[in-house]
Structure 1
Amino acid sequence: MTRTGDLTVETYAAVLFDMDGTLVDSDAAVERSWRAWAREYGVDEDEVLAVMPGHPAADTAARMRPDLEGPAVEAAARAQLEREYHDLADVVAAPGALDLIAALDELGRPWAVVTSADARLAAARLGAAGIAAPVVVDREAVTRGKPDPEGYLLAAARLGVDPADCLVVEDTATGAAAGRAAGATVAGVKGGAGGGAHLALRDLTELVPHSSVRRTSL
């Protein structure tokens, strides 16, 4: 079925959200922790910030320090995650997130979170943002992370819906690619998730039903 930018979440059987940068505003905490990691491991801070969005910590550590092997990569990832577990001071719900969740619950539309974070970090950040997700598919629940569609396919299966009838909301090109590969329609915040989304959003308020703001098709 062809969808246009005029449709709302009421059109979809379920909504599947990315977490960081999409449902939860954790940008400042993420940047602080990765800059500290980059300094510790002697790599360029800005390069780390450019390559890490949408990827698990271990993948970024391996990419930035290809000289590290097995246990050393795992240790580097753990060092980063420990920072993130405890840096929650300014982690909050993204603009429009709480209103959108309330609207979905009122409509009886199921929703889930699909994140590259591990279970502990997902629980910490969602808790800090005041969001109780009915279904969370974290990095530990899948064998292949984004851009592989496994996480979104699993979330749809847990909700009992067809992925093709889902709206995926993302903020990175990596996540948008995963949503597209799952067969879902993808809405992208922050510039349309690097141009990889079907619909570009300023923020989640544009998805709240009965909003007067129209989205832009890509």
Structure 2
Amino acid sequence: MTVMVSRSGHHEDTKSLLCFQHCDRHTNIVCFMVPEVCPLCHQNTALTESRVPPFRLSSPFTSSLQSSCCIAVKPTNGTFTRNYTTSANLHVGITDSHGRMFDFDEEGLHRDSVWPECLTISLLPMTGLDSRQWDMRLHQYVNPMVWTAYRYNEEHKNCFDFVLGFLHWLNLHHTFPEFSDKQSFITHFLLKRTTKVGQFISMYRQVEQFGFLCQTACPS
């Protein structure tokens, strides 16, 4: 897997997905805004009662500012909902207990980056550290003299090496095989998680294209 690392481009706000049932208990309607006319019975939704009122679907993505002591993942270019494909390059970073992001790319070490839409994996329970200890270890690790633009290498010293180096510094690779080397970290830890968000991304893009999506409701 070729790893290309760069800063995030322009961010467009991600809208929340809503879900409701209007006239058919077997069909969920997913949308950003409740359509004026039901796509199934063609009645005015404002003048007729919905079987299940609109509720917000939980998103697998969050802002890095709301994610403490985590590994954060995002597409190198763009966002998950707009740009991600299974062949897209990924960028990773680490947050402290206040949600401050630390990441490394061809420009060197970055502090306090904000990733409005990222996938986060909490690591604190794996470490046995408390948040104060995590911050102390992280701030010791992110030495700007070590993580310089001059030392960046697209294949051998990139954002994945930055994050994996911290996990090794915490000795997590002795307990968790997926942290043993970069290929295991990417394949068995990161890609395993990004694959699971595919269904949400597919729904989001279909709603964006057609205005709504009708889905068969799971039996209760």
TM-score under structure 2 length normalisation: 0.25
TM-score (norm 1): 0.25
Greater C-alpha radius of gyration: 2
- Greater share of strand residues, 1 or 2? 2
Larger helix proportion of the pair: 1
